[in-house]
Amino acid sequence: MSDQADVGQAASVLTSDQQAALTPDVVRDDLIAGNDRFASGPLTVRDHRGQLPLAEGGQFPKAIVLSCVDSRVPVEMVFDCGIGDLFVARVAGNNVNADILGSMEYACRVAGSKLVVVLGHQHCGAVKSAIDGVELGNITELLSKITPSVEATSGDRDDAECDSANADFVAAVTEANVLAAIERIRAESPILAEMEQGGEIGIVGAVYSLATGRVSFLDARS
CB atoms within 10 A of CB 146: 26
Whole-prediction pTM value? Answer: 0.92
Find the range with the poorest average confidence among 95-99, 147-151, 160-164: 160-164
Least confident of 49-53, 139-143, 159-163: 159-163
**If we measure between CA atoms, which residue out of 50, 40, 30, 54 comes closest to residue 5?**
40
Q: Mean pLDDT over all residues of the chain?
A: 93
Say what the pLDDT of residue 221 is.
42
Long-range CB pairs of 30-33, under 8 A, 24+ apart, other chains included: 30/62, 31/63, 31/79, 31/115, 31/117, 31/215, 32/215, 32/217
Q: Are 73 and 121 in contact (CB under 8 A)?
A: yes
175 touches 207 (CB < 8 A): yes
Q: How confident is the model at residue 84 (pLDDT cuts 50, 70, 90)?
A: very high
pLDDT: which is higher, 8 or 72:
72
The secondary element (H helix, E strand) that includes residue 106 is: none
pLDDT of residue 130 exceeding 60, the answer is yes
* Contact in structure between 94 and 180 (CB atoms under 8 Å): no
Strands of 115-121's sheet, edge to edge?
A: 86-90, 63-67, 115-121, 202-208, 215-217
The strand pairing partners of 215, in sequence order, are: 208
pLDDT more than 70, % of the chain:
94
Whose CA is closest to 44, among 16, 11, 89? 11
Residue 6's pLDDT band (cuts 50, 70, 90): very low
Task: Say yes or no to pLDDT of 4 above 60.
Answer: no
Per-residue pLDDT reduced to its tens digit, 32-76: 999 999 999 899 988 888 888 988 999 999 999 999 999 999 999
* Whole-angstrom distance, CA of residue 180 vs CA of residue 169: 16
Q: How far is the C-alpha of 43 from the C-alpha of 145, rounded, in Å?
A: 36
**Which of helix, strand or coil describes residue 122?**
coil
Domains and CATH numbers, the chain: 4-217 (3.40.1050.10)
Picking from 133, 201, 193, the residue whose alpha carbon sits closest to that of residue 162 is 133
